[in-house]
């Protein structure tokens, strides 16, 4: 149970950093989803360069999660895919 809370927290933080870097407005749900998918991509990249000692998938950490989320936002920007936006007051 603690791992799920940890994944949501890291997803939230990396999603917030990525969306503020790319200047995208989206809901908190999509921010968490963006960060979690960025973590999966970042974990896949780090897994290619350094294998974990127990031969299992390891999470990317905050840095590579954020870089993965920025990559996703950049690809979505180039493909003109829009996330649901938050309506300002």
Report yes or no on 23 lying in a domain: yes
Tens-place pLDDT, residues 69-82: 999 999 988 998 87
Report yes or no on 87 lying in a domain: no
Q: What is the pTM of this model?
A: 0.79
Report yes or no on 16 lying in a domain: yes
> Where in the sequence is the domain holding 34, given as residue range(s)?
2-78
Q: Which residues contact 45 (CB under 8 A, 6 or more apart)?
A: 60, 64, 68
Report yes or no on 61 lying in a domain: yes
Q: Which residues contact 17 (CB under 8 A, 6 or more apart)?
A: 66, 69
Tens-place pLDDT, residues 30-51: 888 998 898 888 888 887 887 6
Total domains in the fold of the chain: 1
Report yes or no on 54 lying in a domain: yes
């Amino acid at each position: 149970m603690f791992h799920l809370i940890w994944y949501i927290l890291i997803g939230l933080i990396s999603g917030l950093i990525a969306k503020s870097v790319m200047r995208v407005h989206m809901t908190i749900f999509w921010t968490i989803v963006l960060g979690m998918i960025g973590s999966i991509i970042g974990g896949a990249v780090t897994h290619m360069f350094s294998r974990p000692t127990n031969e299992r998938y390891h999470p990317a950490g905050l840095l590579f999660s954020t870089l993965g989320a920025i990559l996703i936002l950049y690809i979505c920007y180039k493909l003109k895919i829009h996330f649901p936006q938050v309506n300002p007051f």
